[in-house]
Amino acid sequence: MGETSKRLASAAVLILFYLFMIFYPGFYYLQTYLILLLGGAIGIKEFYNLSDRGEDGRPFRGTGVFFMLLVISFYYFRFLGSQNQFEAPLFFLQNIKYFIPPFNPVPVAFLLLFIVTFTLQITKRPLDGAIFSVSSTFLGVFYVAVPLGHFLLLLGMAQGIYYIVFVSVVTFLTDAGAYFGGRWFGRHPAGLAISPKKPGKVT
């Protein structure tokens, strides 16, 4: 099986899995929450791999992963409180005020992330590369957790699932267009660190 055939086969499986994730509301969309946590862990790992500059500065991986999981969890709790497709668990309903507006725990989590990361930098590492280490750790959590969290918020809206489908289709088409465009018209690998085998340079 060629590379393109493998990509098409894996895409078909992932599409079915994705549709199950967003259309099956059973057990409080727990499968969606867990898949987003897994996707977030993979995404932030890739981000931190690209951000690692060694002695010149590197992100605090464990801290970033922990806060990424925490922020996505806060968004999931807010989703449970805002959606009207099913009744949230009793324990959650008794403490819902801590997860829905006007109180928002996400900014508090990011403030705590900054404090913890800055403290770790001062106590565990030299000052060289401090700004890069702190900022890359913070940005990794923001870049990964906030979009995935808003995926949940969209899912909780009355017509939010249609926005999710629209964005997903557009993303899929642009990515597929870039891939096949590179395959058909590219002559040399693009040389991107995140995807070293991606074709795309036309000379």
Confidence at residue 188, expressed as pLDDT on a 0 to 100 scale = 60
Whether residues 98 and 166 share a domain: the answer is no
Residue with tokens 């590197």: 58
Instruction: Output the six-digit token pair for 196.
Output: 């070293």
Whether residues 169 and 70 share a domain: the answer is no
Confidence at residue 187, expressed as pLDDT on a 0 to 100 scale = 63
- Per residue in 119-147, pLDDT (tens digit) is 999 998 888 888 999 999 999 999 999 99
Whether residues 149 and 182 share a domain: the answer is no
Count CA atoms within 13 Å of residue 6 on its CB side: 3
Give the single-character DSSP code of 64: H
Confidence at residue 20, expressed as pLDDT on a 0 to 100 scale = 83
Confidence at residue 60, expressed as pLDDT on a 0 to 100 scale = 95
- Per residue in 13-28, pLDDT (tens digit) is 888 888 888 887 777 8
Whether residues 108 and 194 share a domain: the answer is no
Confidence at residue 200, expressed as pLDDT on a 0 to 100 scale = 53
Q: Is residue 3 in some structural domain?
A: no
Whether residues 169 and 129 share a domain: the answer is no
Q: Is residue 41 in some structural domain?
A: yes
Whether residues 117 and 50 share a domain: the answer is yes
Confidence at residue 137, expressed as pLDDT on a 0 to 100 scale = 96
Whether residues 75 and 148 share a domain: the answer is yes
Confidence at residue 191, expressed as pLDDT on a 0 to 100 scale = 55
Instruction: Output the six-digit token pair for 1.
Output: 């099986």
Confidence at residue 157, expressed as pLDDT on a 0 to 100 scale = 84
Instruction: Output the six-digit token pair for 184.
Output: 């058909």
Q: Is residue 87 in some structural domain?
A: yes
Q: Is residue 13 in some structural domain?
A: no
Which residues form the domain of 75? 28-158
Q: Is residue 44 in some structural domain?
A: yes
Confidence at residue 198, expressed as pLDDT on a 0 to 100 scale = 56
Spans in the chain with pLDDT lower than 50? 202
Please report, as a single letter, which amino acid is at residue 49.
N
